[in-house]
Amino acid sequence: MLEYAWLIPVFPFVAFLLIALLPKRTLWWESGAVYAIAGTLCSLVLSMLVVWSVLNGETLTTDTPKFKWLEVGDFSLEFGVWIDQLTALMLVVVSIVGTLVVVYSGGYMREEGEGRRRYYAEITLFISVMFGLVISDNYLQMFIFWELVGLCSYLLIGFWYEKPSAASAAKRAFIVTRVGDIMFMAGIIILFKYVGSLDFETLFSESAAVAVPTDMMILATALIFGGAIGKSAQFPLHEWLPDAMEGPTTVSALIHAATMVKAGVYLVARSYPLLIHAPESLLFVAVIGGVTAILAATVALAANDIKRVLAYSTISQLGYMILGLGAGGYLVIYANSPGGYAAATFHLMNHAFFKALLFLCAGSVIHAIGTNDMRLMGGLGKKMKITSLTMLIGALAISGIPPFSGFWSKDEVLAAVWHAGEFDSVFFLLWLMGIVTAFMTAFYMFRMWFMTFAGEPRSEYHAHESPRIMTVPLMILAGLAMTSGFVLFIGDGFKGFMESSIEGLLHGAEHESLVDIAAEIFTDPLTYVSLTLAVVGIMLARKIYLTPGFDRSMFSRGFNGKLQRALENRWYISKFYDDFAVKVVYGLSLIADKFDRYVIDGLVNGFAFLGGNTGNFIRRLQDGNVQRYASLILVGICLLLILVLYILPWGG
């Protein structure tokens, strides 16, 4: 089965070509949605077959099938397919969320007219290259697809390109992630310099790890993580993601919550065989993750735009995953345990489902009343029963309330961070940040839910439940958000499944039984700490946002007011970047402008002036007097003859 895995990205790509190139009249329903749905469905089926093979123990990590693309010297660039448990996990996420989002778009994008064709073409292209990214078997191929998903993200954020804010958000997303991409490329170049190959198979072997000096390994892995900082919107390059909410909500759900931003997490997880040779990088990864988690969560507390709350929540949860991977690396090195790695990837999958759900619910709300501002909502629960209920499930899942999926993975991540504390006490601090983040997550999620669906309407609107084509994907995702946590206990257990993808790094880890895992979760007092905090968060949100006549003015006075303004201004990070761009970059540009104007232009104009004047002088020789030409030719020939016959033979 696995040898057909290369077909997975091909189906959506064919759909992309059909939608982009067919004449308008053959696009049928919704300007090409049929092709998009068909393409993603084919990939979904094939992905599931591949995942089934992987579940049965097949993988494709040695002698991967390759297609030679080009040859430079003795290096040949090949496209290959690499299938292991991590790839399978990403295939599950991308194919399921991708298909559901495309179906949902059939209802959500109905009013876009001509733009729909562009939308479906771009989104199928995105799904195609995202599949390409996760099945890559070398870093260069991965980098190519990495850039392509960035391009699709740019195109889709700027879907309403005639709106200046959308156009600039698209540019910002592209440029900011480029910063990370360049670091990623630099990391790849370092690895290539020492190992001479970019194939995972070669790079992840022991001999490759020995070939790279320790300090270079730290630099290379930190730079590769730099790519993840950009793509997964980690501090300090996280500000593009909230701006990316300018795109359609379906795009936010698919690209900026479930798949593309997970590419960074995937990259870190994929690079584990390299990262465990550089514990310093792992610590860096964990610290960035922890800081991002808490920083983004605080901003989400004060956001009033429903999509921005979700965007900051996404950044925060991505921080969780990165933190979990950082801690997981320590566990692999010092405790021979795949705990953190499995927890982070588990959270990746669960988060993809419930965050896509939350975004699509938000899309349903926006579709119904036409605004993003939660201050204008309220009381929607009565009119939009399915949306409010599915969103409640999503909110419970992300808050970490059992038995919803978020509980299991978040708990596992926090447990892994706590355990890593035994090897470096920084992790205790990070655990504390994580637990505070968990509390804030519960609070802002229910603040959002209460402000949107509960209470009384705060503005005039005529809401209605969304059509079936939108609510069915919501229900499917809600079902996944409820149940995807239980894969922890199915078959070998999720931990056992993920463990096999990094088997080579573990030296005889004992295999925990599923009962042990369950017992560990429920006997660990830390579980109850995070659970209590989540419940307190929800109660607090209920108290503040649901009590009629609750005086919220205390939040806008004195120190609280300052804090709130700081949060509303996103800790002034965005402002800092803008100021930086205006003062420093613009100043440098002015200098460059002067240099260009006077030095470069001066040189160019100088040459032109010189050439012109020389020509002006020399043309006087051509005075039209034929006899002068003839005499010059004669004299010239005589001189040449003298030269050839008398002077040159002397020298020789």
Binding residues vs another protein (CB under 8 A): 619-620, 622-627, 630-631, 634
Smallest distance, another protein to C-beta of residue 605, A: 24
Smallest distance, another protein to C-beta of residue 627, A: 5
CA dihedral sign, ordered 348, 354, 357, 359: negative
Comparison of 523 and 625: residue with beta carbon closer to another protein:
625
C-beta of residue 366 within 8 angstroms of C-beta of residue 354: no
Return d(Cα 126, Cα 150) in angstroms, integer.
Answer: 9
CA dihedral sign, ordered 495, 500, 502, 503: positive
Smallest distance, another protein to C-beta of residue 628, A: 8
Smallest distance, another protein to C-beta of residue 648, A: 22
Smallest distance, another protein to C-beta of residue 619, A: 5
C-beta of residue 568 within 8 angstroms of C-beta of residue 577: no
Comparison of 539 and 634: residue with beta carbon closer to another protein:
634
Comparison of 552 and 620: residue with beta carbon closer to another protein:
620
Return d(Cα 629, Cα 514) in angstroms, integer.
Answer: 103
CA distances from 360 to 76, 305, 387 (A): 43, 15, 9
Q: What are phi and psi of 509, to 5 degrees?
A: -75, 140
C-beta of residue 49 within 8 angstroms of C-beta of residue 1: yes
Return the closest-CA partner of residue 32 out of 128, 106, 100: 106
Comparison of 554 and 633: residue with beta carbon closer to another protein:
633
Comparison of 21 and 626: residue with beta carbon closer to another protein:
626
Comparison of 210 and 638: residue with beta carbon closer to another protein:
638
Place of tokens 């006899």: 627
Smallest distance, another protein to C-beta of residue 645, A: 15
Checking 12-16 for CB contacts under 8 A at 24+ apart, the result is 12/36, 12/39, 12/40, 12/43, 12/98, 12/124, 12/125, 12/127, 12/128, 12/131, 13/39, 13/124, 13/125, 13/128, 14/39, 15/39, 15/40, 15/124, 15/128, 16/121, 16/124, 16/125, 16/128
Smallest distance, another protein to C-beta of residue 626, A: 6
Return d(Cα 586, Cα 2) in angstroms, integer.
Answer: 52
Is the omega angle on the peptide bond into residue 279 within 30 degrees of 0, that is, cis?
no
The helices-and-strands tally (H runs, E runs) of the chain is 29, 2
**Structure token pair of residue 531:** 């659970």
CA distances from 163 to 203, 248, 464 (A): 45, 12, 27
Return the closest-CA partner of residue 317 out of 354, 282, 281, 285: 354
CA distances from 140 to 76, 531, 551 (A): 11, 43, 56
Smallest distance, another protein to C-beta of residue 606, A: 25
Quote the longest CA-to-CA distance of the chain.
Answer: 114
Smallest distance, another protein to C-beta of residue 646, A: 17
> Which H or E element spans position 268?
helix 262-270
Comparison of 588 and 632: residue with beta carbon closer to another protein:
632
Comparison of 62 and 627: residue with beta carbon closer to another protein:
627
Return the closest-CA partner of residue 315 out of 396, 417, 239, 394: 239
Residue type, 575: K
Comparison of 207 and 625: residue with beta carbon closer to another protein:
625
Comparison of 558 and 624: residue with beta carbon closer to another protein:
624
Smallest distance, another protein to C-beta of residue 640, A: 15
Comparison of 460 and 623: residue with beta carbon closer to another protein:
623
Residue type, 52: W
Smallest distance, another protein to C-beta of residue 642, A: 16
Comparison of 483 and 631: residue with beta carbon closer to another protein:
631
Smallest distance, another protein to C-beta of residue 636, A: 13
